[in-house]
Homo-oligomer: A and B are copies of this chain.
Amino acid sequence: MTASKAPRRLARDDETAQDPGEQVLRESAELMFFGYRSLTQDPDKILAERDYGRAHHRALHFIGRQPGLSVAGLLDILGVTKQSLARVLKPLVDDGLVEQHVGENDRRQRLLFLTEEGFAFEERLSAPQRARLTRAFREAGPEAVEGFRAVLELMMDAEQRKQALTVIAGAKTP
């Protein structure tokens, strides 16, 4: 059952860089799919308890990472519309997980903070993720971890990367 025209299955499993074969590239895309799914599955279960979804986790996560983040800042990170964010943020505020404080410099802004409860819940959500990553990192070793992070970083466009790294650095946009 060898393909007559298009050579669809040729690459070998070794030689994963330089000019990686189509096979390796497809495998890597699959690994991203499966890996991402693994990483989100534990918090998803916990979120279901409260009638929240993955979007709520993301909001809690980034507010936790950058307390005092503005709504516009969060919109920028998440890359969704404000209407979409509102549907996630409002319940979080109503349920007392997130607080909005009027901005000191600019009083139009609503700066976002986690409440004690919000912080605790976010911890619960991210704990299994951190556990999963810790286990994977321990088994893979420090060099693999560096590679993992480097590739993910390089996978983004220059602009995205810049923004992501700003977020990751925990720096507030000045």
Contact = CB atoms under 8 A, between A and B. Distances in A.
Contacts of A22: 130
Main SS at interface, chain A: helix
Interface in A142-162: 142-157, 160
A96 interface: no
A104 to B, nearest CB: 13
A32 interface: yes
Contacts of A137: 16-17, 20, 28, 151
B148 A152 contact: yes
A30 B168 contact: yes
A103 interface: no
Contacts of A155: 35, 38-39, 132-133, 136
A109 interface: no
Interface in A22-43: 22, 25-39
A11 to B, nearest CB: 11
* 10 interchain residue pairs of minimum CB distance: A147-B147, A144-B147, A17-B142, A136-B154, A35-B152, A148-B151, A31-B152, A25-B130, A34-B164, A38-B156
22 contacts: A17-B138, A17-B141, A17-B143, A17-B145, A26-B61, A29-B129, A30-B65, A30-B164, A31-B149, A31-B168, A32-B35, A35-B152, A36-B36, A39-B155, A136-B154, A137-B151, A139-B154, A140-B147, A144-B146, A145-B147, A147-B151, A148-B148
Given A32-B35, A136-B154, 9 more contacts: A17-B144, A18-B138, A19-B138, A35-B152, A35-B156, A37-B160, A38-B160, A144-B151, A145-B147
